[in-house]
Structure 1
Amino acid sequence: MTNKEYESYYVPSQSHWPIVGAVALFMIAFGAANYVTDLSKDQSGYGGYLLLAGIALVIYMLVGWFKDVIRESLAGKYSHQMDKSFRQGMSWFIFSEVMFFAAFFGALLYLRVFSVPWLGGAGNNAATGAVLWPDFVAQWPLLSTPDGTTTTAMGWYGLPLINTVLLMTSSVTAHFAHSALLNNNRKALKSWLGLTIILGVAFICFQVLEYSHGYSEEMRLFLDSGVYGNTFYLLTGFHGMHVTLGCIMLIVMWFRILKGHFTPENHFAFQAASWYWHFVDVVWVMLFVFVYIL
């Protein structure tokens, strides 16, 4: 029998972090709901403050909880079984993110394949289209709405293409960083990971610039510009949020590397961040194809 069959399974002591996280999430949900309600009524209330307090509490919880996990890992308390648990947990987390984006992609495809053609009289819906919107033109992107709102489609060239190149390149540099870690080349590891972070931050900056261009008087591509504006900002906005989270994860890994953490045999935290980064890269490629090109 191998030694792994006799490994002890580390059970951490009772922690207050889960209840702190639960309270923080409740504050975010309740605060966001009240904030949106106040906006719709053109009022100022406590919702925004509660939302910010919840976000601050989540950040406090994450810093404290991960600090405890890092300390336990460096102390050698985690066994091979714990490593498998971390891998399974990260795998299920990424799977949940896949389902999250699948819902939005499903909504986009439903609009393009079913809803828009039905309004144009496709199939047995000729009467429906004539009654609801007689002058409707079944095309995508949908650039005009029944109330007369018009907008402009965001092209795939320019900033979106640049961002695609940036993220695809960052996926390659992240792989090189992982390879450098496996070869115990700390200098190359710092350089490749630092370049990956720079590319990710550049992506976020260019997306902000793209949004400012979309909200200009020239394009008038707003969140409320019909289903096209809705789907465009929801898909790209949530992806931008995930890129931001991925950058934060990589930055934390970079500072840990500067402190001498991780070895070729023990570096799952870095690997988990790398998995997540590759995931957001793949999602962006799909977004670029289905939102910008097709």
Structure 2
Amino acid sequence: MTGMTEQTGRTEHAPRILSEEEWTARRTQHRERVARLVDPHAERRASGTAHPVHDFLFTYYSFRPNQLRRWHPGHGIALADAEERADWAGYHAVDVGDVRVVTVRPDVLEQRHETVRFVADLLAATESRPAALGCLGLHEWAMVYRAGDDVRHRTVPLRLGAAGTDAVVESLPLRCTHYDAFRFFTDEAAPRNSLTLSRADQVDREQPGCLHAGMDLYKWAYKLVPLVDSDLVLDCLEHAFAARELDMRASPYDLTDYGYSPVPIETAAGRADYVRHQADLAERARPLRARLRHLCEQLLAYPT
């Protein structure tokens, strides 16, 4: 079945149609789920209170809470009786048979084609490699190595102090594979890494054991909104929360006042504990990465 778009006159495959009852129920579920994830951050922001673990997910990543609250069904899904959404960015109203629906405009896929291709290639390359579990979360330590007072989280003390933190970096190998962590290393720490990373070789270096590669599934998902459905975006965000918590528990910071016990990677027992948690997170990221890659491949195969 095909239909004609009013704006372009172009033939496109008919979408799957959700009734008003179906899509409004999904929207309600989405809003409730987002509230659980976002409201604590919004309340902290209103009171001027910082959280060194969770705020990162709303400051480093560019998708804002209000953007998260807006539910998107994804490419190929149309909403009946949804005329108020026709003016949303990336959407339009179109007739499918005798039903007036709102769906993602076909030109959105055309405009995002290169991004979809990049994400598909990056995820496929990441999946193709074995998980490397020996980094021990030392990227956070490398970001404050010999930094003096210039630390990233100035309101949170270092568990071992500056000298103790530097000693840990000097006693263990740096094996970071993620450019967006490596680029924040101090000038003294960067040469200690086993790899010199750049943006240009990101696709060649990403591997599935990396906590930040798993966290970034959230970034790649929201960058493709409204082509990507909100359920997948939130699944990736929830994973990012879990990865961020391990990231910071294994960091040099003392987060006991925030309810986080440390994973002391300066000890043999702490290193073993970190690797166990890291392996578990890598396994949890695997189906999310596969879902997002499969969606990208479907989008790339869609006729434009």
TM range (shorter): 0.3 to 0.5
What TM-score do you get using the length of structure 1 for normalisation?
A: 0.34
* Structure with greater strand percent: 2
* Structure with greater helix percent: 1
Q: Which has the higher contact order (CA 8 A, sep 6+)?
A: 2
> Quick check: which has more Rg, 1 or 2?
1
